Each structure stands twice: as C-alpha cells, then as structure tokens.
Amino acid sequence: MKHAVLKAAPGLPKHHADQMAMSAALDRLYGAAQAQASEIVSRLSESERATLAVFCIGRAHLHAIGLSVAAQCSLDHLTEAAGSSVAGRTLYAQSRELAVAMRKSHVHRRPITLATRASSGFTPRIVADED
C-alpha cells in the first residue's frame, strides 16, 4: 500500500516533525470511518488540522472526512490553510452544516430488534415426495 505524503500549501512553514505527524494522521484517516476522524487528529494543532482538512477536501474519497476534521477548526485557521478567504469561509460553513446534520441523524434512531422465536401463525408446509 502506498503511503500518502501531505504537501502543504505554498508559504506555510514546513517543520519536519509536524509534517511527519500530519502524514501519520493521514495514513490512519485513509482507513478510518468519519466518526473516528476526530480521535485520529486530536493530537494535531489546530493549524495542522486545518491544513489536513484542506488536503482531504481536495480528494474525493476523503471529502467527508475533510469536512469532519474542518469542523474542529476555527475560521481563521481554515482561511489561512486554504490560502483564500472565500475557500476558508466555504469550508467552515460546510463543515458546520455537516456537524449539525450528523447530530440530528443520531437523535431519533430507534434500536434494531431481532425476532427471538418464529411467529406462532407460521406452520411449515410438508411436501411428500412422489415416486
């Protein structure tokens, strides 16, 4: 399996240790569910999370995870990471809409139950072999 390498936007400071931490988080994000994203990136600074969110948004298969990571970032950090105030505001707004939608979807779910026995109205049909 190839390991992803995070390329920071031009003009951002490049610290080797920080880039290694973000690359390690990115490797874990590839195989993670969206709900696990916040745990994976919890050790990163907010500016690192914003950079990672912008990176993920640019990849179709990581878009939802990118929004989940962006929901943990401030508007200022997202704007700086995106390199554009319009892109930063858009990412900020979309990530907040996703967070609200996710909270609402978990509120009204009923638990799934399985039958413990066959229905009393069910009688098996026996078919005799005709030779």
The answer, as to whether pTM is greater than 0.85, is no
Which amino acid is residue 68, in one-letter code? S
**pLDDT at residue 61, rounded to an integer:** 82
Tokens 């003009």 map to which residue? 11
Kindly report the average pLDDT of the chain as a whole number: 76
Across the range 13-30, mean pLDDT stands at 70
